Amino acid sequence: MGAQKKGATARVSEDQEELARNPLQAILLADSFATTFRPITLERPKVLLPLVNIPMIDYTLAWLESAGVEEVFVFCCAHSKQVIDYLESSQWSSQPNFSVTTIESHNSISAGDALRLIYERNVIHGDFVLISGDTMSNMSLTQVLQEHKERRKKDANAIMTMVIKKSKPSPITQQSRLGTDELFMAINPVTKQLLCYEDKAERSKGFISLDKTLIADNPSIILHNDKQDCYIDVCSQEVLSLFTDNFDYQHLRRHFVKGLLVDDIMGYKIFTHEIHSSYAARIDNFRSYDTISKDIIQRWTYPFVPDILCGSSAIKVERQGAYRASDVTLSRSAHIGSFTFIGQGTKIGNDTKISHSVVGEGCTIGSNVTIEGSYIWNNVTIEDGCQLRHAIVCDGVIMRSGAVLQPGVILSFKVVVGQQFVVPAYSKVSLLQQPTQQDSDEELEYADNTSGTGELRSDKLNGDIATDLSETAYELGTGGVGYIWSVFEGAQDEEWKHSVAPIPTDKLVKLMLDKDEDEEQLTQDGNVLSASGELKADSDDNGSEDDDNADSRDDYGFFEKEVEATFLRAVHENVKVDHAVLEVNALRLSYNMASVDCAGAIFYSMMKLAVESPHHSASELHRNAADIITKWQKLLKSFLHDIDEEIEVILKFEEMCLESAKEFAALFPQVLHLLYDKEILQEDAILRWADEKEGADESDKVFLKSSEKFVQWLKEAEEEDEDD
């Protein structure tokens, strides 16, 4: 970009030259670096999965070709051999003016790695389109490319243009249509610059935070909840080098986009381009697979629909969106409903009903079968009387007579379902066992989905491998072959969100109400300046959502939490007292607290631990407390330098007895005594506390009264001392 000083005419001609020199390039990531399509993707890469009987990647490539892209680099990682073989044997290898080059990698674990590798290959020479192989679209790239180029001319920092599309502004529609989480974007309405991108409810649960500088810089910002990210990006060359510079960027959105938005040193900008009438969507999970299949059948993606893409292979579209290949053997009494695709060579028996489904090539379907909203791939055998609702059935599956698939079932390749067997809803069935250890890459990117992996798996999957047929047979009925994958405990609730089956109505309602209630809590928190003590921050996480004028209080709450966490770690990991002291001191400095606060917080943590450790009676509780105090007295003492701090501890203890740990109320004098015995509290501190409390309200003196004896005793002891 050193040519900025040149005259306008020179620049134009140069641009034209540039255009002539650089064919439009695209990077197609043939690996989504995700696990959402397991178990199917264990055997076949996602981009080769049939979408209305045509592999996904064909749709993407066909669109790229029609949009004027001349050179596509297909990045393959998982099952790269299959992808390369497919591309070599397909029509794409021999297209004029459209070259498809594969780039293979075996160790890339994220989109970031892929782009770094491509950067090293040095094959991209100008602006390029970045998409993944599971993106459907029929949009024209002309306008977005032109916009991108023009912006680049004015501002070299405008390095990326994201394509977005309007969707309905409700959390439910987003969930029910593409199964994606809600997305919030802030866009400048004039320049279309993207200012904020938040795809998961992050730290601020009920609120979107906009930086004040953003507001100062942009007199008008539009916050969108009604846009869908199409995952089609027009990027400048710099994007690749940025990935190389920031070697920790992994995810395109979560790291790269957010990283750029947050970084104000380099000043790179991302812009958006909204499409209105064209189609664009990405298959992210089973739900979007379902939705997009239906969209294709209903021809929203025209011209990328099966009858046109297949060319001459004679698929006819009949009324009501019924697609049928020419040589289907169909019984007279079979009923094929609307929006259904039947592939070549498929045989369908008597009285079978099929609606809203896709049936691939070479399938044999018996009599009295009901198929509704399901995706049946190639060479599947379904015997008489089976019922399938909202299921995906991969190649070579055999369903014995009378088998039933409940909504949301996924049958991976060559699974056999036994006679009369009912596969429970949302099951995933595969010939392969569920991998015990998730690959580290997935952990990296989808840690939130896969957390809590190993220990929750049922024992039998850890047992002997497929040879143990009796057991597997048991899983899928007599004669069945395959493993039903267990669902991780945490993900159980999530399963319905991404499944092919429609979301059950009660879940929808719950989803909606959940969101509402979330807010309710928050708005209430915001409204009512309750007399929330510091302990509130502990009891619920919404402490941070309290009105901002409680900042300092919040700070203390956080600090207390941190100290507590540190203390608990010290207890559980047997950290040396000295180290714990250091850590607490570090916390004190970083939160700018006084050592009084430390003493209070540590004491609080100790007592809380005592209450939380199991106990049955007051005496046991007392013993717990005594143990903990004895063990950690040094830690506490190192923050008790003078009497004020000791008094603070007593006050803190009082407060706890009243609020969070009422069980201690009865033990107050004993614990006080204990603290005295351990020389944590000096008698002066206790006496001064007693003096201070003397003048307090009656209600405030409960504990003073209960420990009256002890105080009395102390006083006498003191007098005796003086007498001596």
Partner 1 sequence: MDFQVVVLAGGSSKNLTPLVSKELPKPLLPVANRPVLSYVLHQLEQNNLKDLIVVVEGEDTALVVGAWISGTFIDRLHVEIAAVPEDIGTAGAIRAISHHLTAKDILVVSGDLVSDVPPGAVAATHRRHDAAVTAMLSSIPVSGPLDSGSSGGKDKAKKLGRYNIIGLDPGKQFLLHIATGAEIEKDARLPKRILRAVGQMEIRSDLMDAHMYAFKRSVLQEVLDLKDTFQSLKEDVLPYLVRSQLKSEALSNRTPQGEENGNEKVTSQNNQVFVSRILANSSTPSFHDHSSENPDGSASTRKTHKCCVYIASSGSYCVRLNSIQAFMDINRDVTGEADHLLTGTSSDPNNNIGPSPKLGTKTTVGPHCMLGEGSEIGDKCQVKRSVIGRHCRIGSHVKVVNSVVMNHVTIGDGCIIQGSVVCSNVQLQERVVLKDCQVGAGFVVTAGSEYKAESLARKEK
Name the residue nearer to partner 1 (CB basis): 372 or 683.
372
Q: Which stretch binds partner 1 (CB under 8 A): 122-130, 305-313, 452-460, 514-522?
A: 514-522
Contact pick of 68, 105, 152, 184 for partner 1 (by CB under 8 A): 184
Tokens of 263: 């970084």
Binder of partner 1 out of 54, 223, 575, 577 (CB under 8 A): 223
Residue with tokens 């958006």: 272
Instruction: Give the shortest CB-278-to-partner 1 separation in angstroms.
Output: 20
| Burial class of 9 by CB neighbour count within 10 A (0 to 12, 13 to 18, 19+) | exposed
Which of 191, 450 has the CB closer to partner 1?
191
Q: Which of 65, 211, 644, 692 binds partner 1 (CB under 8 A)?
A: 211
CA distance 491 to 453: 10
Angstrom distance (rounded) from CA 214 to CA 187: 11
Does the protein bind partner 1 through residue 552 (CB under 8 A)? no
Instruction: Report the distance separating Cα 379 and Cα 366, nearest Å.
Output: 13
The SS3 of residue 74 is: strand
Q: Which of the 8 DSSP states describes residue 488?
A: P
Residue 182: strand, helix, or coil = coil
Query: Min. distance of Cβ 293 from partner 1 in angstroms?
Result: 18
For partner 1, give the closer residue by CB, 113 or 198.
Answer: 198
Considering the rule CB under 8 A, would residue 530 count as an interface residue with partner 1? no
Beta carbon nearer to partner 1, 225 or 241: 225
Residue 189 in contact with partner 1, rule: CB under 8 A? yes
Q: Smaller CB distance to partner 1: residue 444 or 522?
A: 522
Q: Smallest gap, in angstroms, from Cβ of residue 209 to partner 1?
A: 5
Sequence-distant (6+) residues with CB within 8 A of 519 are 206
Q: Is 506 in the site for partner 1 (CB under 8 A)?
A: yes
Tokens of 368: 């009295």
**Cα→Cα distances 458→131, 500, 693, Å:** 38, 25, 59
Window contacting partner 1 (CB under 8 A); options: 179-187, 377-385, 396-404, 445-453 = 179-187
Task: Count Cβ atoms within 10 A of the Cβ of residue 457 and give its class: 0-12 exposed, 13-18 middle, 19 or more buried.
Answer: middle
DSSP structure string for 578-619: HHHHHHHHHHHHHHT--HHHHHHHHHHHHHHHHHHS--SSHH
> Least distance (Å) from partner 1 to the CB of residue 511?
9
Q: Does 219 bind partner 1 (CB under 8 A)?
A: yes
CA angle 101, 105, 108 (to 5 degrees): 130
Please give the biggest Cα pair distance in the chain. 115
Is residue 623 near partner 1 by the rule CB under 8 A? no
Nearer of residues 175 and 344 to partner 1, judged by Cβ? 175
Specify the residue, 272 or 412, whose C-beta has the smaller distance to partner 1.
272
Q: Does 216 bind partner 1 (CB under 8 A)?
A: yes
Q: Which is nearer to partner 1, 497 or 652 (CB)?
A: 497
Nearest residue (CB) to partner 1, 17 versus 551: 551
Pick the piece of the chain touching partner 1 (CB under 8 A) from 391-399, 521-529, 617-625, 695-703.
521-529
Instruction: Figure out which of the listed residues 440, 505, 617, 699 binds partner 1, where binding follows CB under 8 A.
Output: 505
Q: Are 154 and 8 in contact (CB under 8 A)?
A: no
Q: Which of residues 4, 220, 277, 552 is near partner 1 by CB under 8 A?
A: 220
Supply the minimum distance, in Å, between the C-beta of residue 594 and partner 1.
26
Q: How do beta strands 404-405 and 387-389 pair?
A: parallel
Mark the segment that binds partner 1 (CB under 8 A) among 66-74, 206-214, 280-288, 608-616: 206-214
Tokens representing 184? 């919030």
State which of positions 531-550 bind partner 1 (CB under 8 A). 548-549
Consecutive H or E run containing 323? strand 322-325
Per CB under 8 A, 258 contacts partner 1: no
Shortest CB 189 distance to partner 1, Å: 7
Residue ranges in 152-171 that form contacts with partner 1 under rule CB under 8 A: 168-171
Helix (H) or strand (E) holding 197: strand 194-198
Residue 338 to residue 322: CA distance in whole angstroms: 6
Q: Report the alpha-carbon distance of residue 206 to residue 311 in Å, rounded.
A: 51
568 binds partner 1 (CB under 8 A): no
| Rounded CA separation 539/244 (Å) | 43
With respect to partner 1, which residue has the nearer C-beta, 440 or 527? Answer: 527
Q: How far is the CB of 375 from partner 1 (least distance, A)?
A: 22
Alpha-carbon span 246 to 256, nearest angstrom: 9
The one among 35, 218, 368, 438 contacting partner 1 by CB under 8 A: 218
- Range in contact with partner 1 (rule: CB under 8 A) among 6-14, 225-233, 339-347, 560-568: 225-233
CA distance 647 to 657: 15
**Interface mask (CB under 8 A) for partner 1, residues 40-59, using x and -?**
--------------------
3-class secondary structure, 256: helix
> C-alpha angle 716/717/722, rounded to 5°?
95
Total residues interacting with partner 1, rule: CB under 8 A = 49
Residue 183 or 580 with smaller CB distance to partner 1: 183
Q: Which of 254, 515, 553, 701 binds partner 1 (CB under 8 A)?
A: 515
Q: Does the protein bind partner 1 through residue 206 (CB under 8 A)?
A: yes
Binding mask 584-603 for partner 1 (x = CB under 8 A): --------------------
CA distance 344 to 118: 39
The DSSP annotation for 421-456 comes to: -EEPTT-EEESSPPPSS--HHHHHHHHHHH-S-GGG
**Nearest Cα residue to 486 out of 428, 407, 415, 405:** 428
Our CB check for partner 1 shows the closer of 1 and 216 to be 216
Measured from the CB atom, the residue of 432 and 508 that comes closer to partner 1 is 508
172 binds partner 1 (CB under 8 A): yes
CB of 165 to partner 1, least distance (A): 13
DSSP state of 255: I
User: Which one, 168 or 316, has the nearer CB to partner 1?
Assistant: 168
The verdict on 288 binding partner 1 (CB under 8 A) reads no
Using the minimum distance from each CB to partner 1, give the nearer residue, 210 or 491.
210
Binding segment for partner 1 (CB under 8 A), chosen from 124-132, 272-280, 475-483, 504-512, is: 504-512
β-strands 25-29, 128-132 pairing: parallel
Decide whether 226 or 555 has the Cβ nearer to partner 1.
Answer: 226
Nearer to partner 1, 182 or 233 (CB): 182
What CA–CA distances, in Å, run from 332 to 137, 266, 704? 37, 68, 92
- Say if CB 28 and CB 118 are below 8 A apart: no
The residues binding partner 1 (CB under 8 A) are 168-173, 176, 182, 184, 186, 189, 201, 204, 206-212, 215-216, 218-227, 505-506, 508-509, 512-513, 515-516, 518-520, 522-523, 526-527, 548-549
